[in-house]
Structure 1
């Protein structure tokens, strides 16, 4: 199935992720275990994605407890923004932050899918380009990050991720990395085509289709509802 996806889409082949994704799908998995599994999958997926999208650079020297000098290292690019899509993207945030050697800036995008049209509706956006905080005390514009990492557990129709990519591209971000637990073939392919030269997509798994409600089949249900016990709201 993965061979039918665009070249800028990467589907994890990690056996531990596959096992945890199978547990995540089960209707018997409670909210606490569901949250833990999403965190674990995000950690595995993040390791795979960041290994391919970051490089190592030396930043100076330090001294070990034995008094020996060693070269210190960090990752490049240095300016990274983490962009969780509210609300379920928050479940992946801690895992990705923990992998990075320095704290990224975090900008939240709030979007929901309108039930009739299945189109995304933005209700919250704290990217700095449209606010007074977008400039420093000296009046200069705050730098646009070299890399934005969008985290959203589910890519069903692809509309939400497409909207996030467009928003970040309008901000001027030169590279975007998206991390998702599960996607549909059609939704992932649609999002990947939004900006092929600027976007790399990493997903834990892909399912073949979505149903008339825009839900992935077999999928894992509404991720936000399962995380926050709001099923049947």
Structure 2
């Protein structure tokens, strides 16, 4: 883990994840394997992030197949108070992994953002967060989640991550867990400092910097193009 990162930054030291990240970096790795590796790394990063960000609570008793009574367990916050928020488009690749870790389905709300080419600043083009208020008949419908789990494979300059955090803060979430495959040191620091008391950022690896086009060095290339086989567009 690079020195002097904020306390809410977490870079995985898992040797298997490091090996998979090395495979993902290779230009020779095809789209199908890119999808598989992103999924597997997202599982590993998400496993660590959710172990830290969720708690286990005792629930109603049930019976095992042999008739023994045991205490069931659930998570807190409750799944109805959690939102999984992929940043389009490449964040979609991490949704199945994070969803599979959670014991029951949670709402998935999408944020569409792209970087303007000349300034590298994020532009929001899609937002389906439910801003309508809950009703007495359905108190869990709409309104902000207690916990937002944001997924995006890459945190490069950190501008998109910061914009997403600001949008979710404005929505009213109490906490954010952000999961990424790879970040830069500066991008990770920017994301962590956007809301230090409310954000925890978990990444599979960390590179030093970006090039003049805002791409991470050595990085993963354009991970969205590699995932969705749109190279050379």
Name the Cα RMSD after superposition: 1.4
Segments of structure 2 that go 5 or more residues without pairing to the other structure are none
Structure-to-structure mapping, 1:55-204, within 5 angstroms:
55-78=55-78, 79-129=81-131, 134-136=133-135, 138=137, 142-204=142-204
1:56 counterpart SS class: strand
Please state how far the C-alpha of 1:77 moved relative to its aligned partner. 1.0
TM-score, normalised on structure 1? 0.95
Q: Partner residue of 2:51?
A: 51
The answer for the alignment partner of 1:220 in structure 2 is 220
**5+ residue gaps in structure 1?**
none
Listed one character per residue, the Cα deviations across residues 83-116 of structure 1 (whole Å, up to 9, x for unaligned) are 0000000100000000001111110000000100
Aligned residue pairs total 230
Query: Aligned partners of 2:114, 2:203: CA distance in 1, in Å?
Result: 20
Residue 21 of structure 2 is aligned to residue 21 of structure 1:
yes
- Give secondary structure in 1 for the equivalent of 2:3: helix
- Note closer, same or farther for the CA distance 1:216–1:101 as it changes in structure 2 (3 Å cut): same
Q: Find the counterpart in structure 2 of residue 229 from structure 1.
A: 229
